[in-house]
Amino acid sequence: MKSHISLALECRDARIPFTSHNPNLDRIIAGNERIIIYTKCDYTTDTPNLQNTLRKIYGDNIIFWDKLRPSTTDKLLKMIKSAAVAHDSIVGLRAIVVGVPNVGKSSVLNALRFRGIPGKTAKVARTGGQAGVTRKIGTNVRILDPEGKSKGVGLNGAFLVDTPGVFPPYVRDGEAMLKFALVQGIKDGLIPTEILVDYLLYRMNLFKPTLYSRYCEPTNDVHEFLTAVAWKDGLIKLKGVPDLQSAASRILHLWRHGKMGKFVLDDVSDEGSERHQQSIDNPPLSLNQAKKQKKQAIAQEKAGA
Residue-wise pLDDT for 38-72, tens only, equals 999 999 987 777 888 899 888 889 999 999 999 99
Domains defined for the chain, CATH in brackets: 2-162 (3.40.50.300), 192-268 (1.10.1580)
The string of pLDDT tens digits covering residues 232-251 is 999 999 889 999 999 999 99
Quickly state the pLDDT bin for 286 (edges 50, 70, 90). Answer: low
Q: Which of 51-55, 90-94, 149-153 has the lowest mean pLDDT?
A: 149-153
Residue 21: name the closest of 281, 282, 276 by CA: 276
Euclidean distance between CA atoms 227 and 241, whole angstroms: 9
Mean pLDDT over all residues of the chain?
86
Contact 263, 255 (CB under 8 A): no
Rounded to the nearest 5 degrees, what angle is found at the Cα of 97, between the Cα atoms of 95 and 103?
Answer: 165
Contact 231, 14 (CB under 8 A): no
- SS3 string of 64-113? ECCCCCHHHHHHHHHHHHHHHHHHCCCCCEEEEEEECCCCCHHHHHHHHH
Contacts of 87 (CB under 8 A, 6+ apart): 6, 7, 93
Burial of residue 164, with CB atoms counted within 10 A of its CB: 0-12 exposed, 13-18 middle, 19 or more buried: middle
- In the three-class reduction of DSSP (H, G, I as helix; E, B as strand; rest coil), residue 161 is classed as strand
Please answer whether residues 83 and 34 qualify as being in contact, where contact means their C-beta atoms are separated by less than 8 angstroms. no
Write down the pLDDT at residue 305: 58
